[in-house]
Amino acid sequence: MKSLYILFFTLAVAFTSCNDSGIKDKSLLPSSVGNINSLQIITPNDLWNGIVGEAIRNNFAAPTDGLPQDEPLFSMNQMPPEAFSGFARSNRLFLYVVLSDENKATVAKDEYAKPQAGAVIKATSEEELVDLINKNAAKIIESFHASELKERQRRTSISLMKSDSLKKVMGVSMQIPSAYRIAKATDSFFWMRKDLKDGTTNILVYTVPLSMIKNDSTAVGDIIKIRDSIGSKLLPVEDEGQFITEDAYAPYLFKTKIDGKFAYETKGTWEVKGAWMGGPFINFAVRDEKNNRYLILEGFTYAPSAAKRDLQFELESILSTSKIE
């Protein structure tokens, strides 16, 4: 009788979790779990210890752009497929890699929990798996990155700093955690910062004329010149040091959009000239043609004894919420 009850209960759950068309009802999925940028790798141990695991690590644990020390894109944890059940399926990010009778790579959304981003890679041989991993890694990483940005923004939205003055003076609003405070504000420059156990994370907002960034070929140099000029003038440094872009590492430049507007995204490291101080920065130069300006949104970290990947990721998630009035 007991086994019959269990059978009926299982069937009831199966039917109620699908809608009339037989499609899985994802509104019933459990909430996902996991630290930001934590990736669950599901693959057999022998694959993980061979060329397949090496391909996974080369792509998904590659160094994060713009940091002073190497930190992986994702913090990875591996488990064999037979262990991937129950609560283990609740991780917000997962990559499932196995040998199969077909060669296929797919991106999955909210497959076992919500929100969740996953990818499944199957192939008939280890060599084919490596090839599929290398070919599809960029697309999968982009999907994971977008999903984690949304999760970071969701967490931030729970407790926000009041930023009415930023909107009124600079014509821009963004979702900033309540842990931040305004360190300096003028009619053309805002500096907000959050105190860490050992250091700070910082947000800068200011504008420059459109003519200051001429074109793609000079964009990196123009942006560095702008931020070094602003930093040396408006960011106080002891002993007459200067807050500048570190020239030992070439910044990374990307094209993106903020609030639907074209933007240059620059990632690199800063330093205080003549002092042992430095850290990473992310800079968005948003082309605001209506107001004949570039709106500069920057986040930088000073945390000499801490890992900086997730600190910079939080700053990126904050800046990405910007709305230009």
Q: Which pair of structure tokens corresponds to residue 76?
A: 């990875």
- Express each pLDDT in 26-54 by its tens digit: 668 999 999 999 999 999 999 999 999 99
Q: Given this model, what pLDDT does residue 13 score? A: 41
Query: How open is the CA angle 40-82-111, to the nearest 5 degrees?
Result: 50
Look over the chain and give the mean of its residue pLDDT values, rounded to a whole number.
Answer: 90
DSSP state of 202: E
Could you give the CA distance from residue 308 to residue 202 in angstroms, rounded to a whole number?
Answer: 13
Report whether CATH 3.30.379 matches the domain 25-156: yes
Could you give the CA distance from residue 310 to residue 263 in angstroms, rounded to a whole number?
Answer: 22
Three-class SS of 28-59: HCCECECCCCEEEEECCHHHHCCHHHHHHHHH
Q: Are the CB atoms for 320 and 258 separated by under 8 Å?
A: yes
Do β-strands 117-123 and 104-109 pair in parallel, antiparallel, or remain unpaired?
A: antiparallel
Domain boundaries, the chain: 25-156, 164-324
- Express each pLDDT in 297-317 by its tens digit: 999 999 998 999 999 999 999
- Express each pLDDT in 137-150 by its tens digit: 999 999 999 999 99
Could you give the CA distance from residue 325 to residue 168 in angstroms, rounded to a whole number?
Answer: 9
- Express each pLDDT in 172-205 by its tens digit: 999 999 999 999 999 999 999 999 999 999 999 9
Q: Where are the alpha helices (DSSP H) in the chain?
A: 2-16, 45-48, 51-60, 126-156, 164-170, 219-234, 309-319
Could you give the CA distance from residue 243 to residue 226 in angstroms, rounded to a whole number?
Answer: 12
Does pLDDT of 66 surpass 70? yes
Phi, psi of 270 (to 5 degrees): -115, 165
Q: Which CATH class is domain 164-324?
A: alpha beta
Q: What's the half-sphere exposure (Cβ side, CA atoms, 13 Å) at 220? A: 12
Label residue 2 by pLDDT band (50, 70, 90).
Answer: very low
Q: Given this model, what pLDDT does residue 4 score? A: 42
Q: Given this model, what pLDDT does residue 245 score? A: 84
Instruction: Count the neighbouring beta carbons within 10 Å of the beta carbon of residue 92.
Output: 24
DSSP state of 8: H
Could you give the CA distance from residue 114 to residue 90 in angstroms, rounded to a whole number?
Answer: 8
Which has the minimum average pLDDT: 67-81, 94-108, 236-250, 289-303? Answer: 236-250
